Structure 1
Amino acid sequence: MGRADPMRRGLLALVAAASLPGTGRAEPLATLRLLLGAPAGGPGDLMARQLAERLRGEHARAVVVENRSGAGGQLAVAALKDAPVDGSVLLLVPSSVVSIYPFTYARLPYRVETDLQPVALVAHSPLAFGVGPAVPAAVKSFADFLAWAQAHPQQASYGSPASGSIAHLQAAAVAQASGAPLVHVPYRGGAQAVGDLRGGSLPSLSAPLGIFLPHMASGQIRLLAVSGEARSQLAPSVPTWRELGFKLTAREWYGFFAPGRTPREVVARSASALLKSLDSPEAGALLARFGLELTPAGPERLAALIQADAAEWRGLIQRIGFTAES
């Protein structure tokens, strides 16, 4: 037998590590509810529904995805707070809910430290910065773009899917650090933003990588940078912000959480089932279509990631001076 794929070996090790004495062959849950703070049809919704199919059977006889969209995902978190702690209710949220909101909202209906119990990391989405036909074709790098922006300050704007999103804040940090006269143009979602980018009415856009991918073949969009500690597997020729001299690593990730009071053995059982459901080439291929990279990990890794994000974003948001009320 040949060498196992490194991702598969690591995933199997995580599944084994998540199993604790007494959690091996528990009876399946009657119903598992997966709360999602986003409307149907997006990457998070697709991810939740695919996982629901894989969790149905050995882990739960029925799995239901509940879309609790509103207030940027806060309604779904609030719904988790009073849920049973037997593993029958889990929450899937993007990282902004736990990494950004505590530093941009004066009041939240939840506390990350006490109301959310990390269960499993699923995937992450690199953030990308791209330019469209409104920027001359001679602009082929981010350094070129900065020079163009300095020479054309009246045209130097960038869009993002939402004000206060990770994409917005990361680009704002770059603009502040570089001294570039970049003006933010907030949108309500990525579809209109990327449409304006392609159409030439928006010069540049900071957004999750997946928003750009369907439009790359036309050559109308040029990606200049991506977030993360290493280049994205989905855009290996695009340099990271760190390579370009900016101390930014944060990416948008998706993770599962249980209510804060959930016992450790219940968390371990849920983590084991989720990680097992991700152990297939099909899962990674499906996520890649939406610009998501499969990065499965257990509760400890997810908890550490939240702490690292908090350390990075707390300082960035203070320097930018952004609040949800501003």
Structure 2
Amino acid sequence: MSTRRLFVQSAASLGALGAFPFAARAQAFEAPKIINGFPAGGTADATARRVGERMGGTAYAKNAAVVENKPGAGGRIACDVVKAANPDGSTLLLTPYSMMSIYPHIYAKLSYDPLKDFVPVSIAAVMTHALAVGPLVPASVKTVKDYLAWAKANPDKASYGSPAAGSTPHFLVALLGLNHNVDLKHVPYRGSLPAVADMIGGTLASTSTPTGDALANHKAGKIRIIATSGAQRTPFTPEVATYAEQGFPELTTEEWFGFYAPARTPANVVANANAAINGALRDKGVIDSLGLMGLVARGSTPAEMDKSQRDELTRWGPIVKKIGFTAES
């Protein structure tokens, strides 16, 4: 995927950090806040907490950051909270790029402008998405083609959950059904974990979710991940073939979690926050704990994150149009 190259820490990109004006030295915050738009226990929450725990003792923060979960509206509530926060840099947003690069294509009246109301700070972690099936789906369904055949033969049961309507996981399976003329009924949830719970309970056939949110139950044998969305197999599920390997290369994608500050946050504060985040992401404990959630720790400069966000905004426009989804549909 082209965005992957953006995360390489080149000398030029590192030099961009040196361009921040340091006329006024920013004082470290006692305990900054990280607002996360999804429930506790999921991949977004884990990213916010693992990074936030290592922010203390830096030029940005004296102590670890405090994480506040504001789930609801597919992550938009958290975006609104940070948009309205004091632009001093003491409050950060941790969000998947869906809220910034996909939602503008599906909401006619989005309550925030991703490009005007926020300033990118750093990418934090990269994830793939997984298609997982539960006990409602026969054990004979082991591949995406098997899943499509089963769904076509059982339209009354062919449902899939996602962490939010309009999210990347939602659109991956929507595109799969559209391209292969199979009616896959989407059920949006407030985060991945409630969808996974319903799938284990047998009231939902499948989920499209960040791989990490399905990982523990896959390893426990309660559900089966049958595809992941990366260009290569994930190191967390090496036994699972990618969508591309199974003949669906159009579903190849990775998504990142990134930190944002409110617009008008001073550049030197953004630089301090960026340094604190990237320092945390080099910590082996953070790398390992994110790995348990199916996440690859990967930082960036603000400029790299901004370019990646804009690239994804351009890429997803025609995809959303093809699917025909809007917030009112």
Classify the TM-score, shorter chain.
0.7 to 0.9
User: SS state of the match for residue 54, structure 2?
Assistant: helix
Task: Summarize deviations over 1:231-279 as a string: whole Å, max 9, x none.
Answer: 2221123222233224133334210112233454443332122101211
For structure 1, which segment, 36-45 or 158-167, has the greater mean C-alpha deviation from structure 2 after superposition? 36-45
TM-score where L is the length of structure 1: 0.84
- Taking the aligned partners of 2:222 and 2:109, their CA distance within structure 1 comes to 41
Rounded to whole Å, the distance in 2 between the matches of 1:196 and 1:81 is 33
- 2: CA distance between counterparts of 1:154 and 1:82? 43
Residue 236, structure 1, aligned to residue 234, structure 2: no
User: Which residue of 159, 180, 183 maps to 2:182?
Assistant: 180
> CA offsets, 1:94-147, max 9 Å, x none?
222102211111112221111111110001231100222333322221122222
2:181 and 2:11 map into 1 onto residues whose CA distance is: 46
Pair 1:216-2:218 in alignment: yes
- Tell me how far 1:280 sits from its aligned partner: 1.4
Distance 1:138 1:14, change over 3 A: farther
Q: Is the 8 A contact 1:227 1:250 kept in 2?
A: yes
Paired residues of 1:35 and 1:76 also in contact (CA < 8 A) = yes
Of the structure 1 ranges 60-69 and 90-99, higher mean CA displacement relative to structure 2 is found in 60-69
**Structure 1 pair 230/302, CA: closer, same or farther in 2 (3 Å)?**
farther
Please name the residue that 1:325 is paired with.
Answer: 328
1:61 aligns with 2:59: no
Distance in 2 (alpha carbons) for counterparts of 1:14 and 1:79:
34
> What's the CA shift for 1:90?
2.3
> Which blocks of at least 5 consecutive residues in structure 1 are unaligned?
1-9
Decide which of 178, 188, 192 is 1:190's aligned counterpart: 192
Over residues 24-46 of structure 1, what are the superposed CA-to-partner deviations in whole Å (9 max), with x where a residue is unaligned?
99564133333333454443334
Is the Cα contact below 8 Å between 1:15 and 1:276 reproduced in 2?
no
Counterpart residue type for residue 174 of structure 1: L
Partner of 1:72 in structure 2?
74
Q: Does 1:307 align with 2:310?
A: yes
2:18 matched residue in structure 1: 20
- What residue is the counterpart of 1:107 in the other structure? 109
User: Residue 74 and residue 152 in structure 1: after superposition, are their counterparts in 2 closer, same or farther (change >3 A)?
Assistant: closer
Whether the 8 Å CA contact 1:126–1:251 is kept in 2: the answer is yes
Q: Distance in 1 between matches of 2:54 and 2:102?
A: 30
- Larger-gyration structure (1/2): 1
- Contact preservation (8 Å) 1:20, 1:265: no
Q: How many pairs does the alignment contain?
A: 318
Seen in structure 2, the aligned counterparts of structure 1 residues 232 and 18 have a Cα distance that, compared at 3 Å, is farther
Instruction: Give the match for residue 287 of structure 2.
Output: 284
The alignment's C-alpha RMSD in Å is: 3.0
Provide TM-score, normalisation by structure 2. 0.84
Question: Structure 1 pair 73/267, CA: closer, same or farther in 2 (3 Å)?
Answer: same
Q: 1:161: which partner in 2?
A: 163
- Candidates 254, 259, 281, aligned match of 2:257: 254
Structure 2: distance between partners of 1:294 and 1:277: 9
Corresponding residue for residue 30 of structure 1:
29
The residue type equivalent to 2:56 in the other structure is: R
Q: 2:281 & 2:197 partners in 1: Cα distance? A: 33
Residue 74 of structure 1: CA displacement?
Answer: 2.7
- CA shift in 2, pair 1:135/1:80, >3 Å: closer
- Aligned residue type for 1:29: A
8 Å Cα contact 2:13/2:303 also seen in 1: no
Corresponding residue for residue 45 of structure 2: 45
Moved more, 21-30 or 288-297: 21-30
Identity, % of aligned pairs?
41
